[in-house]
Every structure is written in C-alpha cells, then in structure tokens.
Copies of this chain bind each other. A is one copy, B any other.
Amino acid sequence: MRPKRYDWRTGCSVEATLSVIGGLWKAVILFHLLEGKRRFGELSRLVPGTTQRMLTLQLRELEADGVISRTVFPEVPPRVEYELTEFGRSLEPILLTMRDWGLSFQSRRLGEPKPAKDLAA
C-alpha cells in the first residue's frame, strides 16, 4: 500500500494542499493551464525538464483529483486538450502567489553580482 507522502486527513492544511499539487511538476502544469487549454505537446514544451512519461503521469493524477479535464479529439492526428476544471481554477490564488514570488525571486537573484556559494543552489 502506498501511504502516499501527504495525508489530507491527518495532516495540516498545507499538507492537504500538497496532496493535490505536491507532485513534481503539478504546480507548473497547472500554472500554464491558467491561461487556457493546452495540448499535450504544448505542455511538453512549456515544462522542459520533464519527460513525456512524467508529464502523462502527473496529468493523470491531476485528472483523477478532478483538477483538470482531458478532452480527446477523435482526429487523424490525435489531439488532446487539457483544461482546468472549476475546482482546479480554485487553485489560481496559490499559483498566482507562487508566480509573483518566483518573479521577485528571479529578479532578485539576477541582480546579485556574485553568489556566495557559486556551485550550490
């Protein structure tokens, strides 16, 4: 049995949140879905560093949690679109807050002349 890492029942509220968006690339995926529907290939390009396999797995879990919807178009070149559900959209405040902090963090780091410990971090 997989005791999972996070337990939304016994854990604190943050832990509950992580049980949904705690996956490796979930937050990043959801962030890119804020702007609208995305095809699999788009997400693949938007999230470099992840493999197709990982992307698929993460998308499946998000779908299972009711955060995103998956629409398959029965076309000859297959097309699949992922979209936030109403429930998934409720995560927007979190994602936007993370984006804001990230932007600030990035510019802060870029402004630093020399990192204290060049290799790490």
| Inter-chain contacts of A100 with B (CB < 8 A) | 13, 93
Copies of this chain held together in the complex: 2
> Which chain A residues in 5-41 approach chain B with CB under 8 Å?
5-18, 20, 24, 27-28, 31-32
> How far is it, in angstroms, between the C-alpha of A92 and the C-alpha of B94 when the chains are bound?
12
Q: Contact partner of A102 among B12, B103, B104, B117, CB < 8 A?
A: B12
A121 to B7, CA, bound (A): 9
CB distance from A45 to the nearest CB of B (A): 12
- The interface size bin for chain A is 35 or more
The reply to whether A103 and B64 contact each other, CB–CB distance below 8 Å, is no
In the assembled complex, the CB of A94 is this many whole angstroms from the nearest CB of chain B, namely: 5
A105 touches B28 (CB 8 A): no
Are A98 and B13 touching (Cβ within 8 A)?
Answer: yes
- The residues of B that contact A91 with a CB separation of less than 8 Å are 101
Q: Which 10 A-B pairs have the closest CB atoms?
A: A13-B102, A16-B102, A17-B102, A14-B31, A17-B98, A13-B99, A13-B103, A97-B97, A94-B97, A14-B98
